Structure 1
Amino acid sequence: MAYESGALNAALAAAVGSDPALVAELRGAFVESAARQIDLLRRARCDANWHFAALRLKSLAASFGVQGIVDLADHALEGAPGDPVVLRQLDAAMCDFGDLPAGMQ
């Protein structure tokens, strides 16, 4: 899913222009927030927690224009808490960003 990182970079550049420090800060905020929601999905033990974390992840990805993560969040919404396939796919998609917070790789 190498295109995901490029899509995020393009969306950020379109939003804030050519300020590399601001692009890096916003990119980091996206990665950190997405990783947090994926961690909440991983720890969800009930339908409600799984559903809310998937919705937050979908909203976050949509606001940054990362369609692949939006699609995976939709897949999570259709599944059951702890779905290992969805979690593996999300982990693989996030690895494309390369700068995951400690413990999320």
Structure 2
Amino acid sequence: MVYEASALDSTLAAAAGDDPALLAELRMAFCDSLARQIDLLRRSRCDGNWHVAAMRVKGLAASFQVWPLMVLADEVLASAPGDPVILRKLQAYLDNLSDN
């Protein structure tokens, strides 16, 4: 499954301007933050922890106007803690971002 990263790239480019080092740093920070939340989701064993991590993913996506990730965050919120399907989707999204 491939996800488009152009919304994130546009938002980061607007923030970084003509500074490629800053752009790379912001992108890495976004990916690191998303990776932490995916890890928390993987370790969640109750509805409360799952919901908090899912809302953090949604907040991260909203902050950077990454609509495909917001849709995934809504799927996380609608799923049960530990749902392997949604965790694979999130990981695929992150892997795609990291590869670009």
Once superposed, which parts of structure 1, at least 4 consecutive aligned residues long, lie more than 6 Å away?
Answer: none
Instruction: Give percent identity, aligned residues only.
Output: 59
Matched, 1:24 2:38: no
Which residue identity does 2:87 align to in structure 1? L
Which digits, 9 at most, give the CA deviation of each residue in 1:83-104, with x for residues without a partner?
11110111111111126xxxxx
Partner of 2:14: 14
Seen in structure 2, the aligned counterparts of structure 1 residues 9 and 38 have a Cα distance that, compared at 3 Å, is same
* Cα shift at 1:16: 2.5
Tell me if the contact between 2:31 and 2:98 (Cα under 8 Å) persists in the aligned partners: no
Q: Residue 39 of structure 1 aligns to a residue in which SS?
A: helix
Tell me if the contact between 2:3 and 2:68 (Cα under 8 Å) persists in the aligned partners: no
Partner of 2:35: 35
Partner of 1:103: none
Gap regions ≥5 residues in structure 2: none
Tell me if the contact between 2:58 and 2:73 (Cα under 8 Å) persists in the aligned partners: yes
Which digits, 9 at most, give the CA deviation of each residue in 1:4-52, with x for residues without a partner?
2x22111111122111111111111000000000110010000000000
Between the aligned partners of 1:63 and 1:43, the Cα distance in structure 2 is 24
* Cα shift at 1:2: 4.3
Which digits, 9 at most, give the CA deviation of each residue in 1:50-100, with x for residues without a partner?
00000001101111121111111110101110011110111111111126x
Partner of 1:78: 78
Normalising by the residue count of structure 2, what TM-score does the alignment of the two structures yield?
A: 0.91
Normalising by the residue count of structure 1, what TM-score does the alignment of the two structures yield?
A: 0.87
Which residue identity does 1:82 align to in structure 2? G
Between the aligned partners of 2:40 and 2:3, the Cα distance in structure 1 is 24
Superposed CA RMSD in Å reads 1.2
